Amino acid sequence: MRASRFDILGLGNAIVDVISRTDDDFLAAQGLNKGGMALIDEARAEELYRAMGQATVISGGSAANTIIGMAGLGCRAAFIGKLKDDELGGLFAHDIRAAKVDFSTNFSFDGPASARCLVLVTPDGQRTMNTFLGASQNLTESDVDEERVKDARFIYLEGYLWDPPEAKAAFVKAAKIARGAGRKVALSLSDSFCVDRYRDEFIGLIRSGSVQILFANESELHSLYQTADFDTALGQLRAEKILGVVTRSEKGSVVVTGDEILTAPAAPVEAVVDTTGAGDLFAAGFLAGLAKDKDLAICARLGALAAAEVIQHIGARPQADLAQLAAQSGVTL
């Protein structure tokens, strides 16, 4: 196998998060499903933005958050995602490159604006997301460079990318190249509503061997296997004989392989401010551990540390030095 230039290459929706604090009454008035993610068009994005309170604008996107988290843990990281040559597109590109992530996807110069996610955070830290995919939907197979995929030890794909047909084709191309090059492909299920839409296709990716590592939270796992019983769902995941990682909020995480089940605690937090990006950063810590050849218990510990950092402030990108936090907890990277 060829030497790897990157520890991780992520493919995902290049999105800028517009985050505002709100309350349950506002969600109800706007007809929003608390804690969920809804796809909206540009007109609805503008309408909701006008109705929101004061907002913070931060680059986001599920896979991009994970990739930036991994870069913060000392991994050689790259990202593929589509932007328009506009103000938000420039902001996203600047932020991801400033985080020392290799990013060279060509901008689009026509079509819809760069993607944005309007994130409404209630006092309990729950986030309700309304996403205008915009230019990110224009990611195509031509944006997936074969050599870059072959040069990455791990490929990380977000389930949200399965919505636009052209992006789905890019997703499949990257997975096929990675598999042919002997690289590992990780998939984040992203959202239970996303799983509801594409359950059979996600299971097909797992059972065909296209995906070797799966990240899910508890509700996504229940949706995947259509059962309300956690142990039943976990047993079905274990039967897939892949590396499965299930996050359970304050209950920690469960890691399964065909041979073992490992439970790991959550990291302590002083206060939950915003759960946006918790799963993304858990995946960042876990995959960084794999990239550094750590055992699964250490991988889960790194995931918990990264997730704990991000839920204690607004926004889905780390504000603290993750490598330093790992060192303070006794993990040498």
Residue 117 lies in a domain: no
Predicted local distance difference test score (pLDDT) of residue 316: 83
Domain count, the chain: 1
Instruction: Give the percent of the chain with pLDDT over 90.
Output: 83
Query: Do the domain assignments include residue 164?
Result: yes
Is there a domain that residue 78 lies in? yes
Residue 88 in tokens: 């938000």
AA identity, residue 176: K
> How far is residue 303 CA from its own chain's centroid?
13
291 lies in a domain? Answer: yes
DSSP string, 216-283: EEHHHHHHHHT-S-HHHHHHHHHHTTSEEEEE-GGG-EEEE-SS-EEEEPPPP-S-----TTHHHHHH
- Bigger pLDDT: 193 vs 279: 279
Q: Is a pLDDT exceeding 80 seen at residue 2?
A: no
Instruction: Tell me if residue 21 falls in helix, strand or coil.
Output: strand
Asked if the structure places residue 94 within a domain, the reply is no
The CA-atom distances, in angstroms, between 58 and each of 10, 84, 241, 314 are: 19, 17, 38, 9
Better-predicted residue by pLDDT, 37 or 330: 330
Q: Residue 2: count other Cβ atoms within 10 Å of its Cβ.
A: 10
Least confident of 98-102, 185-189, 190-194: 190-194
Question: What are the strands, taking DSSP E only, across the chain?
Answer: 6-11, 15-21, 37-39, 55-60, 77-80, 101-103, 115-121, 127-132, 152-158, 184-188, 213-217, 243-247, 253-256, 261-264
Examine residue 151 and state whether it is found in any structural domain, yes or no: yes
For 129, phi then psi, to 5°, come to -110, 135
Structural domain that includes position 170: 6-12+61-87+134-328
pLDDT class of 255 with cuts at 50, 70, 90: very high
Tally of CB atoms within 10 A around 168: 16
The pLDDT, as a whole number, for residue 305 is: 97
- Mean pLDDT, rounded, for 290-295: 96
Residue 155, φ and ψ in degrees, nearest 5? -110, 130
How confident is the model over 59-81, as a mean pLDDT?
Answer: 95
CATH of the domain at 272: 3.40.1190.20
**Region of 155 on the Ramachandran plot (φ > 0 left; ψ -120 to 50 alpha; else beta):** beta
Mean of all residue pLDDT scores within the chain: 94
For 292, residues 6+ apart whose C-beta sits below 8 A from its C-beta are 74, 75, 333
pLDDT tens-place string over residues 77-99 = 999 999 999 999 999 999 999 99
Give pLDDT, residue 1: 64
pLDDT band of residue 71 (cuts 50, 70, 90) is very high
Q: What angle do CA 102, 108, 114 make, to 5 degrees?
A: 80
pLDDT over threshold 90, residue 163: no
Residue 37 falls inside a structural domain: no
Identify which has the larger pLDDT, 160 or 302.
Answer: 302
Rounded CA-CA distance 279/256 in Å is 17
Angstrom CA distances, 332 to 66, 180, 217, 327, stand at: 20, 32, 27, 6
Determine, yes or no, domain membership for 28: no
Q: How far apart are CA 288 and CA 75, in angstroms?
A: 7
Which tokens sit at 101?
A: 């992530």
Of the ranges 77-86, 162-171, 176-185, 216-225, which one carries the lowest mean pLDDT score?
162-171
Helix (H, G, I), strand (E, B) or coil at 58: strand
The C-alpha R_g of the chain, in whole angstroms, comes to: 18
Q: Residue 262: is its pLDDT beyond 80?
A: yes
